[in-house]
Amino acid sequence: MRHIISLLMENEAGALSRVAGLFSARGYNIESLTVAATEDPTLSRMTIVTSGSEAVIEQIIKQLNKLIDVVKVLDLNDGKFIERELMLVKVKATGAFREEMKRMCDIFRGRIIDVADGSFTIELTGSGNKLDAFIESLDKAAILETVRTGASGIGRGDRILKV
């Protein structure tokens, strides 16, 4: 099953490679991994999308907790949470495509953030599923380039991951 694991770790050189190394060394899956400093510059917040049986996910959480630089770990799937991912897509916008792309972008509540003679760049935010659906709905020949950030997640309401 797909799990979104959120963690806070010391914002130090090499911290990211400790996590990435752990996943490759123990053969765990990584679907995506995002990381950036928090409002407290000594801490980094990382969101990892992974998949595995309950036993594997339990081991992943334990192994992450075992890393000395990791301060807190939360499996977002243990409760209610919101997931968002940002995607930038550059699409062909010539002839009939130009109107079609504008329409698709509106339907998915995206924004066109760059307009050129032959292309649009569309910004779209949502769950991974929504971004997948957008890509699916486009004519493959129209897609010039896609960039995805990987998922970020946050617990709903009182679920707060903080030191």
Partner 1 sequence: MEQSSKQFTGAEILIRCLHEENVEFVFGYPGGAVLNIYDAIFHQDKFKHILVRHEQAAIHAADAFSRSTGKVGVALVTSGPGATNAITGIATAYMDSIPMVIISGQVPTYAIGEDAFQECDTVGITRPCVKHNFLVKDVKDIAATMKKAFYVANSGRPGPVLVDIPKDITAHLHAFEYPETVQLRSYNPVTKGHLGQIKKALKLLAEAKRPMVYSGGGVVLGDASEYLIKLVQSLNIPITSTLMGLGGYPASDKNFLGMLGMHGTYEANMAMQECDVLLAVGSRFDDRVIGNTEHFLSNPRTIIHIDIDPSSISKRVKIDVPIVGDVKSVLADMIDLIAAEKPVQNTVALADWFKQINAWRNKKCLTYAQSTEFIKPQYVIQKLHEVTKGDAFVTSDVGQHQMWAAQYYPFDKPRRWINSGGLGTMGVGLPYAMGVQFAHPDAQVACVTGEGSIQMNIQELSTCLQYNLPIKVILLNNRYLGMVRQWQEFFYENRYAESYMESLPDFVKLAEAYGHVGMRIENPSDVEGALAEAFSPKLKDRLVFMNFLTDQKENVFPMIPGGKGLSEMILAENL
Within the chain, where are the H helices? Answer: 15-25, 54-66, 96-107, 128-137
| Per-residue CA distances from 107 to 116, 131, 133 (Å) | 21, 12, 11
What is the closest distance, in whole angstroms, from the C-beta atom of residue 18 to partner 1 in the complex? 6
C-beta closer to partner 1: residue 19 or 104: 19
Residue closer to partner 1, measured from CB, 31 or 69: 69
Residue 11 CB, nearest distance to partner 1 (Å)? Answer: 11
Give long-range contacts, CB 8 A cutoff, 24+ apart: 107-115: 108/133, 108/134, 108/137, 110/134, 113/88, 114/90
Closest CA to 31 of 151, 155, 124: 151
CB of 26 to partner 1, least distance (A): 10
Q: Which is nearer to partner 1, 65 or 137 (CB)?
A: 65
* Residues within the interface to partner 1 (CB under 8 A): 9-10, 13-14, 17-18, 21, 25, 55, 58-59, 62-63, 65-66, 68-71, 163
Smallest distance from partner 1 to CB 127, Å: 30
**CA distances (Å), 114 to each of 62, 118, 126, in order?**
44, 11, 20
Is 43 in contact with 35 (CB distance < 8 Å)? no
Name the residue nearer to partner 1 (CB basis): 9 or 151. 9
Nearer to partner 1, 22 or 86 (CB): 22
CB 32 → partner 1: shortest distance, Å? 22
